A and B are shown apart, each in its own frame.
Chain A
Amino acid sequence: MVINKDSNAYTVIFATAMVVIVGGLLAFVSTSLKPLQEDNVRNEKKQLILKAIGSEETKSITREDAGKQFKKYVVERLILDYEGNIIEGTRLTNETPVDIKSAKDAFAVDLKKEYKKFVQPLTNKYTGSDLVDELTKEKNIHYPLFICEVNQRFMEELALDGLKLKLIDIKEKLQEANENNMDTSLSLALSDTMFRIEEELKGRKKHYVIPVMGKGLWAGVWGYIGLESDGRTISGAVFDHKSETPGLGAEISKDFFSDQFIEKTIVDETGNYTPVKVVKPGTGVTQPYVDGISGGTFTSVGVDEMMNRTLSVYHKFFQNESGKELLTKI
């Protein structure tokens, strides 16, 4: 039988068959590989969170290991609203396994989606205090917080004994200060030192990891910021991006950029919120700053914007009751 390849019927049949076969093949490939791909994405998120802690222990965890070890380091996770209050029922410990379908699980919050749908329309329209008002009104934006614990470098026995003595000494001083109603900044400083010594003695150190999401030049940029147990000093940062220019904006994902944030504080001496600025190299500013990427201005501005906007929420959280309780609890 000779088929007329130029007939319309043949063309239509060929096209239909091709579409069905190719469509079926692609659907099969996609569904069979999906679990693997989703695992990769989740494990990468875990890896970034662990890396953001900034501890030597978690810095070089591979993507595969991050999936297994996440539980060990991230002891608690919770979701905040814009006011910095914990949303009810979202405070989960590491005994609750990660459930990516649950709306109450901080790990399941899809910042990318929320940013596109709720945050970006607002940041495009408003600035300054108007933006703050609008962000306060928008209840669909979630602010996850990961509370992590890492082992601290173990001190020698002798040093530990010295620390114990120092702790008793400080406790006495603190009591004295409280009894005599001495100025509060001194007692604050004393309790701060006490807390740090207790932490050292315990051998476990608390860190807070905050996810941030914003936009660069071409598409989204995001990152995770690790805070020390004081809730104000940055202990580590990682950034990533969807499609920033290689060699320019894409450099934000390199260590030389993110490491600049380490040891910068997000509050000034008086306890007011001061975001870490990302500036052009060489520009003098008074508040804590890091050098942006030359040639990657829009990306740098995006990093600056997302950190400023997001960290303010967590600063509010550490100022209110539940946040303070976290900061002083070992």
Chain B
Amino acid sequence: MSEVAVKEKEPLFSKKNKKLITDPLNDTNPVTIQVLGICSALAVTVKMDAALVMSMAVLAVLIVGNVIVSLMRNLIPGKIRIIVQLVVVAALVIIVDQVLKAFVYDVSKQLSVFVGLIITNCIIMGRLEAFALANKPWASALDGLGNGIGYGIILVVVAFFKELFGSGTLLGFEIFGSQGKTLADSTGLYSMGYENNGMMLLPPSSLVLVAIYIWIQKSRNPSLQEGH
């Protein structure tokens, strides 16, 4: 593990702290390199807007969860630490869900089951266990921020391609023109016989897209490649 307990009395945004945010965006990306949270990257990426809101929700839960666990790190009994982390995350997610339902009902409807699924997002448990349990609250918050954004980037990139080629839209706006019942009714690319790729709407296509992302990432930075 590259995470080492951060020394005391250093500036809020020291070099080390900055790395906590920037590393997960690329070299230690939670999805592509740590291979955590793949499941939601497969499921919530059909539409860009859902992917964005899901990223926000995970980001919020990750930061707050990291800070809470980090504050309690000296109190948590080792034997039940995983359960304690789970309770913290579950409580946070339930509160988020309840608040969404009460104040932004439309968003909560759009996310429906995915909010509950944040609990099972392995990134959260992974970061709590690997980082927050051993580090101070501020460093944990930054780690949560970095990993949350790193996760969000993958989600948005995958959703971009899935929505563009699967539905021909981006954030709901039609990019390739509109598809009518016949060629004559269609506009833009559709009038030339273009068809949306139904495969792109299904979860397996995310696997392919994530794999391509990892391929590009690892070929640009050979140090990430595992020797065999």
A116 interfacial contact with B, CB 8 Å: no
User: Hey, which chain A residues are within 8 Å of B105, CB to CB?
Assistant: 37, 40, 44, 63
Question: Which among A10, A37, A243 has the highest number of chain B CB atoms within 10 Å?
Answer: A37
Please tell me if the beta carbons of B201 and A248 are within 8 angstroms of each other in the complex: yes
> A203–B77 Cα gap in the complex (Å)?
73
A6 interfacial contact with B, CB 8 Å: yes
A25 interfacial contact with B, CB 8 Å: yes
Closest Cβ–Cβ distance, residue A287 to chain B (whole Å)? 19
Please tell me if the beta carbons of A11 and B47 are within 8 angstroms of each other in the complex: no
A242 interfacial contact with B, CB 8 Å: yes
Q: SS class of chain A's interface: helix, strand, loop or mixed?
A: helix
Please tell me if the beta carbons of A36 and B102 are within 8 angstroms of each other in the complex: yes
Please tell me if the beta carbons of B112 and A242 are within 8 angstroms of each other in the complex: yes
Please tell me if the beta carbons of B112 and A37 are within 8 angstroms of each other in the complex: no
Please tell me if the beta carbons of A247 and B201 are within 8 angstroms of each other in the complex: yes
Query: From residue 50 to 93 of chain B, which have CB atoms closer than 8 A to chain A?
Result: 50, 75-80, 83-84, 87, 91
Choose, from A26-34, A69-77, A141-149, A313-321, the stretch at the interface.
A26-34
Closest Cβ–Cβ distance, residue B41 to chain A (whole Å)? 15
Closest to A251 in B: B167
User: Hey, which chain B residues are within 8 Å of A29, CB to CB?
Assistant: 94-95, 98-99
B30 interfacial contact with A, CB 8 Å: no
Also in contact, A246 and B77, with CB within 8 A (given A22-B91, A29-B98, A33-B99): no
B4 interfacial contact with A, CB 8 Å: no
Closest to B43 in A: A246
Please tell me if the beta carbons of B102 and A33 are within 8 angstroms of each other in the complex: yes
User: Hey, which chain B residues are within 8 Å of A188, CB to CB?
Assistant: none
> A14–B74 Cα gap in the complex (Å)?
12
B204 interfacial contact with A, CB 8 Å: no
Question: Which among B78, B87, B102, B166 has the highest number of chain A CB atoms within 10 Å?
Answer: B102
Please report the total number of B residues contacting A with Cβ < 8 Å: 30
Contact pick for B91, options A25, A63, A247, CB 8 Å? A25
Also in contact, A246 and B80, with CB within 8 A (given A30-B98, A37-B102, A295-B201): no
Contact pick for B94, options A26, A243, A247, A291, CB 8 Å? A26
Also in contact, A6 and B79, with CB within 8 A (given A40-B102, A247-B167): yes
Please tell me if the beta carbons of B87 and A33 are within 8 angstroms of each other in the complex: no
B181 interfacial contact with A, CB 8 Å: yes
Closest Cβ–Cβ distance, residue A284 to chain B (whole Å)? 13
B216 interfacial contact with A, CB 8 Å: no
Please tell me if the beta carbons of B46 and A246 are within 8 angstroms of each other in the complex: yes
> A19–B90 Cα gap in the complex (Å)?
12
A108 interfacial contact with B, CB 8 Å: no
Please tell me if the beta carbons of B76 and A14 are within 8 angstroms of each other in the complex: yes
Please tell me if the beta carbons of B112 and A6 are within 8 angstroms of each other in the complex: no
User: Hey, which chain A residues are within 8 Å of B95, CB to CB?
Assistant: 25-26, 29
B113 interfacial contact with A, CB 8 Å: yes
A-side residues, CB < 8 A to B, are: 5-6, 10-11, 14-15, 18-19, 22, 25-26, 29-30, 33, 36-37, 40, 44, 63, 242-243, 245-248, 281, 291, 294-295
Q: List 21 A-B contacts (CB under 8 A).
A: A6-B77, A6-B78, A11-B77, A11-B79, A14-B76, A22-B87, A26-B94, A29-B94, A33-B101, A33-B102, A40-B101, A40-B102, A63-B105, A242-B112, A243-B113, A245-B46, A247-B167, A247-B201, A291-B181, A294-B198, A295-B201
